[in-house]
Chains A and B, each alone.
Chain A
Amino acid sequence: MLSLDENSRVAVIGAGPAGTFFSYFLFAMAERVGQEIQLDIFESRNFASPGPSGCNMCGGIVSESLVQTLATEGINLPASVIQRGIDSYVLHMDVGSVKIETPLQEKRIGAVHRGAGPRGNQEGQWDSFDNFLLKLARDKGANIISGRVDEIRWEDGRPAVKVRGGESRVYDLLVVAVGVNTATLKLFQDMDIKYTAPETTKTFICEYALGKEKIENYLGSSMHTYLLKIPRLEFAAMIPKGEYATVCMLGKKIDKELVQSFLNTPEVKRCLPPDWDSQQEACRCMPKINIKGSSHPFSDRLIFVGDCGISRLYKDGIGAAYKTAKAAATTAVFTGISEEALKQRFWPACQKLEKDNRIGKLIFSSVGLIQSFPFARRAILRMVAKEQQNRGMPQRMSTSLWDLFTGSAPYREVLLRMAHPLFLSSLIWNIVIELWPFRRRKQKGRSHEEE
């Protein structure tokens, strides 16, 4: 079986979280078994430069479970990287808004900038999340090669990597962590491997410069999530950071029209200052995200980790990058780097994520269905409001929504909680109350008064 030996050479393409987590854990595991490894990370971006050229384009949320897991690993995200700790979220629907707080009332979700911040931002104001991880990998012993990889081929059964204008280098293992927003994946088309690129969908992300004070006053330390009845929009969120508010949208065929109709809703406007102008965003991008992972993200001496392999549906992509990268590093050090070894140890970790994503799809479809009935939206709001008023009672709906929207727990756990007879009976009871004729007349009367 192929394995890493003393002074084996490893190449990692991409210095986003998947690439740097892999490098960090490969060194950590090799160190434990007393093995020397030579590792090069290839990256063309400079995470210290503001705007899209230094950014790996995502909402920038480090989930509650990942923050805790990293802390257990001894990786504590410094205050200079965390733009804001999040301790609650506000669910906005057309029928009202409700704030959901964590039982511990502690800030355990991290809002970060992946790069040096939006276009026009002055450099050096904070540390980029990706740069922080890259420094960790460098401190462990990784060598960073700046440049765009333009050729990958096999040389006597080993992968060889070449950067534009450079020479080809041969490695014992190649780890690909390039995400799904790059042309680098095309380089693998002629390599005679079983890898298939993931299925993707477009998202919309933009940043608004509001300043610290307004962020504090209007958004606070809450993530704002929106379940609105807008065609093609599945989910939207507004995340407060140091100086900026980040808006993220997920849906089908997101375009300018859909973005504008969301930003013009009263639910969005009431979260922001009156002088806010939706046209004055500091930075915007429409990156692709992985919605169905690769069917075969490995072969002899080759592993695809993070978004270009298997990720998590809609939420906690950084957490998925950590999981697949660590599984790959553990396999490479303790089991081997052959296709057989990777199938035995790395692939089960990926499959677990993919199975959970199937459950996630089911949950998001159900949420979509609920979104289309006003009485169901009111029933959810009523359940959450009641739970938040009485923190001593079981927080069934609040916890389920918290885990679903923050990506803090596997979708399987969310489904099990939602399938609990007490959850279902409570939901049905609240729907019945909302459908009660007397209550409906009252609602109608209220809306006439508002008109």
Chain B
Amino acid sequence: MKKSKLGKVFNDGEVIIRQGDAGNFMYEILDGQVEVLREKGGEEVQLAILEKGDFFGEMAIFEREKRSATVRAQGQVRVLTVDKKILLRRISEDPSLALRILERMSRRIREMDGELVRLRTGK
């Protein structure tokens, strides 16, 4: 992975964001993939695998809660950090900029609905 290109390179297993930390950034995956983990009672549950073109950490942009999950590099990964301040300023100038994030969040709710039905019905 070329280090002279955009973003920051994380090596396999490196934590990019940690559950419980404060967050002022969201991240775009430029190359490679990451795993999203929720830690509970000393155990780790894998919530998702995200890859090139996906983003994570977006909840920190819209709310002031702590990070809800840990994100770790799976193999070498290159991510671009997006500042909360810059993004909110641009969204205030051009609200359509938030549409892609809304679309992705909406898709996640749809997936979670499916998961909920599966858990309740056992099918």
* Residues in A lying within 8 Å of B, measured CB to CB: 29, 32, 64-65, 67-69, 71-74, 76-77, 79, 82, 84-85, 104, 106-108, 110, 216, 221, 323, 326-327, 330, 349, 352
Contact A79 B90 (CB under 8 A): no
Q: How does the 8 Å CB contact mask read for B78-98 relative to A, with 1 for contact and 0 for none?
A: 001111001100100110110
In the complex, the answer to whether A72 meets B82 with C-beta atoms within 8 Å is yes
> Known contacts A65-B90, A68-B80, A68-B86: does B4 contact A76 (CB below 8 Å)?
no
Query: In this assembly, does B14 line the interface, its C-beta being within 8 Å of a C-beta of chain A?
Result: no
Per-position binary interface string of chain B over residues 20-44, scored 1 when its CB falls under 8 Å from any chain A CB and 0 otherwise: 0000000010110000000000000
- How many residues does chain B have at the interface if contact means C-beta atoms less than 8 Å apart? 26
Inter-chain CA distance A104–B4, complex, in Å, is 16
In the bound assembly, the distance between CA atoms of A29 and B99 in angstroms comes to 10
Q: Contact partner of B96 among A29, A76, A110, A352, CB < 8 A? A: A29
Q: Does A72 lie within 8 Å of B96, measured CB to CB? A: no
Q: Are A330 and B96 in contact (CB under 8 A)?
A: yes
Pair B94/A76 contact, Cβ less than 8 Å: no
Rounded to whole angstroms, the CA-CA distance of A87 and B116 in the bound complex is 44
Q: Is B80 in contact with A76, judged by CB distance below 8 angstroms?
A: yes
Most buried by A among B6, B83, B93, B97: B6
Flag whether B110 is at the interface (Cβ < 8 A): no
- CA distance in complex: A138, B101 (Å): 24
Give the dominant DSSP class at B's interface: mixed
Determine if B5 and A69 form an interchain contact, defined as CB atoms under 8 angstroms apart.
no
Q: A79-B6, A79-B31 are in contact. List 17 more A-B contacts (CB 8 A).
A: A67-B6, A68-B86, A71-B80, A72-B28, A72-B87, A72-B101, A76-B52, A79-B5, A85-B4, A85-B6, A106-B81, A107-B6, A107-B8, A110-B6, A216-B4, A326-B96, A327-B94
By the criterion CB–CB under 8 Å, are A108 and B90 in contact? no
Residues of B within 8 A of A (CB): 2, 4-8, 28, 30-31, 52-53, 55, 80-83, 86-87, 90, 93-94, 96-97, 99-101
Q: Which residues of A contact B5 (CB under 8 A)?
A: 79, 82, 84-85, 107
Q: A68-B80, A104-B81 are in contact. Are A32 and B99 (CB under 8 A)?
A: yes
C-alpha gap A104/B83 in the complex (Å): 10
23 inter-chain pairs at a CB distance below 8 angstroms, sorted by A residue, are A64-B86, A65-B90, A69-B87, A72-B87, A72-B100, A72-B101, A74-B53, A74-B100, A76-B30, A76-B53, A77-B6, A79-B5, A79-B31, A84-B4, A85-B5, A104-B8, A106-B80, A106-B81, A107-B5, A108-B6, A323-B93, A327-B94, A330-B96
- How far, in angstroms, from A257 to B82 measured CA to CA in the complex? 43
Q: Kindly state the separation between the CA atoms of A216 and B2 in the bound complex, as whole angstroms.
A: 13
A84–B90 Cα gap in the complex (Å)?
25
* Shortest distance from the beta carbon of B30 to any chain A beta carbon, whole Å: 6
- Chain B residues with CB under 8 A of A64: 86
Say how far A73's CB is from chain B's closest CB, in angstroms. 6
A76-B8 contact, Cβ under 8 Å, with A68-B86, A69-B97, A104-B81: no
A108 and B53 contact, Cβ closer than 8 Å, known pairs A68-B86, A71-B82: no
Please measure, in the bound complex, the distance between the C-alpha atom of A323 and the C-alpha atom of B2, giving whole angstroms: 30
Q: Which residue of chain A is the closest to B100 with respect to CB atoms?
A: A74
Most buried by A among B2, B4, B97: B4
Interface centre among B55, B80, B83 (most CB of A within 10 A): B80
**Interface hub of B28, B81, B96 (most chain A Cβ within 10 A):** B96
Contact between B80 and A73, CB atoms less than 8 A apart: no
* Complex Cα gap A294–B87 (Å): 28
When chains A and B are docked, how far (Å) is the Cα of A349 from the Cα of B95?
13
- Point out the residue from B2, B28, B101 that lies within 8 Å of A79, measured CB to CB: B2
